[in-house]
Chains A and B, each alone.
Chain A
Amino acid sequence: MSLIGKIVTIYGNMVTAEVDGAIRQNAVAYCKRSDGVRLMSEIIRIRGNRADMQVFELTRGLKAGDEVEITDELLSLELGPGLLGQIYDGLQNPLPLLARKVGRFLEPGHYLPALDRAKKWEFTPVAKVGDVVRAATNLGKVPEGIFDHYLMAPFDLAGDWKVKAIKPAGSYTIEEEIAVIEKDGQTRSVNMIQRWPVRIPLGFYETRLLPTTPLVTKQRIIDTFFPIMLGGTYCIPGPFGAGKTVLQQITSRHAEIDIVIIAACGERAGEVVETLREFPHLTDPRTGRTLMERTIIICNTSSMPVAARESSVYTAVTMGEYYRQLGLNVLLLADSTSRWAQALREMSGRLEEIPGEEAFPAYLESSIARFYERGGIVKLHDGRIASLTIGGTVSPAGGNFEEPVTQGTLKVVGAFLGLSYARSYARRFPAIDPLESWSKYKGLIDPQKVAWAHSFLRKGKSIYEMMQVVGEEGTAIEDFVIYLKSELLDTVYLQQNSFDDVDAACPPPRQKKLFDMVCDVLAYPFSFADKEEARDRFFTLTERFRNWNYTPWDTPALAEHEAKIRECLTPGAAQSKEASHA
């Protein structure tokens, strides 16, 4: 049932309409242009009989007096089998299909169904006639890629219902009836499609758990020093050019996780293109299938309408919650939450709200907190454990971490991977600053050992700074060796070459092995005659560790490289100097 209103004001992507009747906050509305095009909008404020709406399209051509159709439905997603491998805009329009239907440009007013209506899925019933079901109880399942995609009783069910009929195994489209349920003489037909409003967290579970299992990203600096957890949250702030997006791309490739959802929110279209052109050709080592089959891309790039950008992160997180509800581990990468915050700011400005710091709205922090809190690891009603991990990049203005979005984010995340321009400039990738970053989670390796190794980085830095003033000749050899040790740890452990096939992804056993070897060097009591000898030995060590890093696991060459590293840790290691020149 929808109401018809009339447009009163138009300013940017904000339109105000006058309407008589009950209006629902966050309901979807359509502004009708005089040429018949309907522009999707969302109601964001109601004052008397005036509804303020953010329009998800260019508002060019709208007139005062044009009709507005106000629905009773909140901005919702279509959920069901077929989401994986898709590329959607912030409102869940499938972009490749849109390109085929409408052409190269995103002309306003075209909306397509998110899920393929024609595709048949191999259905297997799980529930039986007579079973009692509640919202999100499994009724059956279909295979989607390598996963069992459970089909659940509708999320909006209230109380206990009974299965009256269920279809036998067979292939059905998502719109076909798979079950009939009843309650108090009322019956309801169920198909594979669920709808859920994006701004309301989706979660039918017994309890939320504390994140305890590390999410392996195969990036040493993350897994060892600043770990993230299944069901945890983390943020990556960094100035432009520090490699935020590259880090997100590497994570999306190598993370040991079932599903990756990439929310390209207000960033460059070119980066999304890299992902969507490359992922279909990359193999997921865990499954042997292409990476695209475990990925969903939500793409609302910087030149697409800003209101849809605001909703796109909710679209992404709702899909993440849906797949968590299916019992899977999901990683949501949002790039970048600052662009989303800017979208909030733009709307807030148009609504003429009293601005907070840097003109961001006062509710910025609570909005950020609510978003990250939608992640988490949960125990579902059937006992399975599933998780949604959220990682967001932050693009602070001027690279200054004091700004409101970074600060609002730091309060609510479990790990902070701060990128530094200085490290990126020195080509030390991933450019995560080891002295600024932190994680509240426990990683693969004993935290005490990690803290001990980390202490070298801090000591090394202060010695380096001292050396800038007094010169190398004014530095004691003991200090100089500590500095060399910290550089070694940085070069061969923290830095990782994403262009090298082997070094790009470092699995846990390899990390543990390498960490132990590096620790042996850190602990070794070297004695050098002079700084030249020290520098030379560490050059050799660095080179040999590098060779180790580039050599595949389980090859005889790896043991040889290890032996060569060990050679440098013997008292009479002078011969290693000759060996390095040979």
Chain B
Amino acid sequence: MRKYYNRIDRIAGNVATLKATNVAYEELAEIEGKAGKSFAQVIRVDGDNVSLQIFSGSRGVSTGDRVSFLGSSMRFSFSENLFGRIFTGGGEPRDGRTPLTDNLVMVGGPAVNPAVRLMPHRMIPTNIPMIDVFNTLVEGQKLPIFSIPGEPYNELLARIALQAEADVIILGGMGLKYDEYLYFKNRLEEGGAMSRSILFIHTASDPVVECLQTPDIALTVAEKFAVQGKRVLVLLTDMTSFANAMKEIAITMEQIPSNRGFPGDLYSQLAARYEKAVVFEDAGSVTIMAVTTMPGDDVTHPVPDNTGYITEGQFYVKNGVIEPFGSLSRLKQLVNGKTRDDHRAIMDGCIQLYAKCRETREKRAMGFEMSPWDHKLLKYGEAFESRIMDLSVNIPLFDALNMCWSILAECFEPRETGIRSNLTEKYWPKKA
């Protein structure tokens, strides 16, 4: 017997408070009134006062609306039927097809026991040299893309999704512009990846509470597929919107803010999501790539700062390229020793030379004299930028390594590269 409540005492922000009994913490409720029907979740129980976070927002909600509790926390249907489907951040169909109700699973379960985790050990090829060669993506890794609005981070994300060999692609969009959503949808459809993709899209015009649920639903589904043995790639964009949504709710709940208005548990909340990245001992894996836009290009802003402490490296997308300095894949050492024997040497050598080229450019800008060595470096820098760093370059790892060798050969003598001589002897391109 479902019990109905007809009296809401208080509505503030997206939170409604009413008197109710026998209500469980984090239980789901339904609010029905003139504004339509919406789900809500219990976020505080104080005696018989129950606070609900209304998913669709409190706009138009009346104190006389009818509230009922559903007897469980949030659940979502999990099955193969999810493939090719598009949902809102709250898990409602966005593609006009029927809602799914079979095999409901709990959203946001407990953490994985560290004892059943494996060390990530498999490279994810993306055909982007700046990733494959210099900061290899590893299965089971969690890696953010730090960027600023206007940079092509979503394009990069879409390309990684299409080119990475993953069994399942899950996209969690938070605060996306509508055309960004359409861009992702079109890219996945054109690339023929829609049949292994599931999209959870919260657009900027959707209720803010749904933004909070997007990563939870996306990661719950990902985790379930991984347990079945699938290799899942989760793309989240943009986690800063998620953090801002969290800030909004925290302030409505009168929580004491810690840093620039963000709640004190920002780190724990972000970590709870990112830590879903895993390689299971005897099942599949979850890899997470997430965009974090940095307000004002400030990496010390609480969202990128906390993210950096949680994730295993980061890609900086700046001026349309993956910036080699500051970008880091903490796990690359686990895989790049097993690809080709020149991989690590090229990775270090090319970046060191490129760093020297940047120093030379600074010197040039300050009007110091250019030596022959400086001219070599300048030539190298341009070749490296246009043939390796450019994001439109699309070649597999070995081709990229060969490309690096030919650029080096065009600009330098073998001993000037600082690469071990047994490697230069083996790989240095012979003059035609």
Binding site for B on A (CB under 8 A): 8-12, 34, 58-65, 87, 95-96, 98-99, 102-108, 239-241, 266, 268-270, 272-274, 276-277, 299, 301-304, 306, 339, 342-343, 345-346, 349, 352, 355, 358-360, 395, 397-400, 425, 471
Q: List 23 A-B contacts (CB under 8 A).
A: A34-B24, A61-B73, A63-B45, A64-B21, A106-B110, A240-B305, A241-B328, A268-B275, A270-B117, A270-B140, A273-B118, A276-B114, A301-B114, A302-B272, A346-B264, A346-B268, A349-B258, A355-B256, A395-B309, A397-B259, A397-B305, A398-B299, A471-B368
| CB < 8 Å neighbour of A11 from B45, B110, B278 | B45
CB-CB < 8 A to B264: which residues of A? 342, 345-346, 349, 359
Given the known A-B contacts A60-B24, A61-B73, A346-B265, are A96 and B302 also in contact in the complex, defined by CB atoms under 8 Å?
A: no
| A270 CA / B314 CA spacing, docked (Å) | 16
CB-CB < 8 A to B47: which residues of A? 8-9, 64
Among A65, A270, A273, A306, find the residue whose CB has the most chain B CB atoms closer than 10 A: A270
Given the known A-B contacts A61-B26, A241-B308, A303-B272, are A105 and B109 also in contact in the complex, defined by CB atoms under 8 Å?
A: yes
| A97 CA / B271 CA spacing, docked (Å) | 25
CB-CB < 8 A to A11: which residues of B? 43-46
Does B117 lie within 8 Å of A87, measured CB to CB?
no
| A110 CA / B314 CA spacing, docked (Å) | 36
- Considering only residues 45-87 of chain B, those with a C-beta below 8 Å from chain A are 45-48, 73
- Considering only residues 114-147 of chain B, those with a C-beta below 8 Å from chain A are 114-120, 140
CB-CB < 8 A to B267: which residues of A? 266, 302, 339, 342
| A64 CA / B25 CA spacing, docked (Å) | 9
| A299 CA / B114 CA spacing, docked (Å) | 8
Q: Is B393 an interface residue (CB 8 A)?
A: no
| A399 CA / B118 CA spacing, docked (Å) | 30
Does A273 lie within 8 Å of B117, measured CB to CB?
yes
B109 to A, closest residue via Cβ? A105
Query: Measured between C-beta atoms, what is the minimum distance from A346 to chain B in Å?
Result: 5
Q: Is B432 an interface residue (CB 8 A)?
A: no
Q: Is B100 an interface residue (CB 8 A)?
A: no
Does B312 lie within 8 Å of A270, measured CB to CB?
yes
| CB < 8 Å neighbour of A60 from B26, B112, B325, B328 | B26
Query: Measured between C-beta atoms, what is the minimum distance from A9 to chain B in Å?
Result: 4
| CB < 8 Å neighbour of B112 from A61, A105, A277, A355 | A105
CB-CB < 8 A to A241: which residues of B? 308, 313-314, 328, 330
CB-CB < 8 A to B118: which residues of A? 273, 277
Among A87, A277, A302, A303, find the residue whose CB has the most chain B CB atoms closer than 10 A: A303
Does A95 lie within 8 Å of B113, measured CB to CB?
yes
Does A104 lie within 8 Å of B24, measured CB to CB?
no
Query: Measured between C-beta atoms, what is the minimum distance from B424 to chain A in Å?
Result: 16
Q: Is B252 an interface residue (CB 8 A)?
A: no
| A263 CA / B72 CA spacing, docked (Å) | 35
Does B25 lie within 8 Å of A62, measured CB to CB?
yes
Given the known A-B contacts A63-B45, A108-B110, A302-B268, are A87 and B25 also in contact in the complex, defined by CB atoms under 8 Å?
A: no
Does A10 lie within 8 Å of B25, measured CB to CB?
yes
A7 to B, closest residue via Cβ? B45
Q: Is B23 an interface residue (CB 8 A)?
A: yes
Q: Is B101 an interface residue (CB 8 A)?
A: no
Given the known A-B contacts A59-B25, A303-B111, A345-B264, are A99 and B116 also in contact in the complex, defined by CB atoms under 8 Å?
A: yes
CB-CB < 8 A to B268: which residues of A? 266, 302, 306, 342-343, 346
Interface string of B245-276 (1 = CB under 8 A from A): 00000000001111100011101100110011
B306 to A, closest residue via Cβ? A397
Q: Beyond A104-B116, A270-B140: 9 further Cβ-contacts under 8 Å?
A: A9-B46, A103-B113, A266-B267, A269-B112, A274-B119, A303-B112, A342-B267, A360-B258, A425-B325
| A60 CA / B268 CA spacing, docked (Å) | 17
CB-CB < 8 A to B24: which residues of A? 34, 60-63
Query: Measured between C-beta atoms, what is the minimum distance from B121 to chain A in Å?
Result: 10
CB-CB < 8 A to B114: which residues of A? 87, 95, 269, 272-273, 276, 299, 301
Interface string of B281-318 (1 = CB under 8 A from A): 00100000000000000011110011011101110000
| A239 CA / B44 CA spacing, docked (Å) | 35
| A483 CA / B38 CA spacing, docked (Å) | 69
Q: Is B105 an interface residue (CB 8 A)?
A: no
| CB < 8 Å neighbour of A302 from B27, B275, B301, B328 | B275
Given the known A-B contacts A240-B309, A303-B271, A303-B272, are A9 and B117 also in contact in the complex, defined by CB atoms under 8 Å?
A: no
B111 to A, closest residue via Cβ? A303
Given the known A-B contacts A9-B46, A61-B24, are A107 and B256 also in contact in the complex, defined by CB atoms under 8 Å?
A: no
| A370 CA / B325 CA spacing, docked (Å) | 40
Q: Is B396 an interface residue (CB 8 A)?
A: no
B355 to A, closest residue via Cβ? A426
CB-CB < 8 A to A103: which residues of B? 113
Interface string of B323-350 (1 = CB under 8 A from A): 0011010110000000000000000000
A344 to B, closest residue via Cβ? B264
Among B25, B45, B302, find the residue whose CB has the most chain A CB atoms closer than 10 A: B25
B300 to A, closest residue via Cβ? A398
| A389 CA / B359 CA spacing, docked (Å) | 43
| A98 CA / B112 CA spacing, docked (Å) | 11
| A346 CA / B283 CA spacing, docked (Å) | 34
CB-CB < 8 A to A107: which residues of B? 110
Query: Measured between C-beta atoms, what is the minimum distance from B225 to chain A in Å?
Result: 14
| A96 CA / B26 CA spacing, docked (Å) | 30
B313 to A, closest residue via Cβ? A241
CB-CB < 8 A to A346: which residues of B? 264-265, 268
Does A349 lie within 8 Å of B255, measured CB to CB?
yes
| CB < 8 Å neighbour of A301 from B44, B257, B275, B314 | B275
Does B111 lie within 8 Å of A61, measured CB to CB?
no
Does B110 lie within 8 Å of A105, measured CB to CB?
yes
B73 to A, closest residue via Cβ? A60
Q: Is B205 an interface residue (CB 8 A)?
A: no
Does B111 lie within 8 Å of A304, measured CB to CB?
yes
CB-CB < 8 A to A269: which residues of B? 111-112, 114, 117, 275, 278
CB-CB < 8 A to B140: which residues of A? 270
Q: Is B280 an interface residue (CB 8 A)?
A: yes
CB-CB < 8 A to A273: which residues of B? 114, 117-119
| A397 CA / B303 CA spacing, docked (Å) | 10
| CB < 8 Å neighbour of B44 from A10, A96, A400 | A10
| A63 CA / B113 CA spacing, docked (Å) | 27
In the A-B complex, the 9 residue pairs with the smallest Cβ-Cβ separation, listed nearest first, are A398-B300, A302-B271, A303-B275, A240-B308, A359-B258, A303-B111, A95-B115, A60-B26, A10-B45
Does B326 lie within 8 Å of A425, measured CB to CB?
yes
CB-CB < 8 A to B305: which residues of A? 240, 397-399
Does B302 lie within 8 Å of A397, measured CB to CB?
yes
CB-CB < 8 A to B275: which residues of A? 268-269, 301-303
Does B111 lie within 8 Å of A105, measured CB to CB?
yes
Query: Measured between C-beta atoms, what is the minimum distance from A413 to chain B in Å?
Result: 21
| A59 CA / B43 CA spacing, docked (Å) | 11
Q: Is B227 an interface residue (CB 8 A)?
A: yes
A270 to B, closest residue via Cβ? B312
B302 to A, closest residue via Cβ? A397
Does A65 lie within 8 Å of B21, measured CB to CB?
yes
| A34 CA / B278 CA spacing, docked (Å) | 32
Does A99 lie within 8 Å of B115, measured CB to CB?
yes
| A250 CA / B23 CA spacing, docked (Å) | 50
CB-CB < 8 A to A60: which residues of B? 24-26, 73
CB-CB < 8 A to A302: which residues of B? 267-268, 271-272, 275, 310
Query: Measured between C-beta atoms, what is the minimum distance from A392 to chain B in Å?
Result: 15
CB-CB < 8 A to A268: which residues of B? 275, 310, 312
Does B119 lie within 8 Å of A277, measured CB to CB?
yes
Query: Measured between C-beta atoms, what is the minimum distance from B143 to chain A in Å?
Result: 12
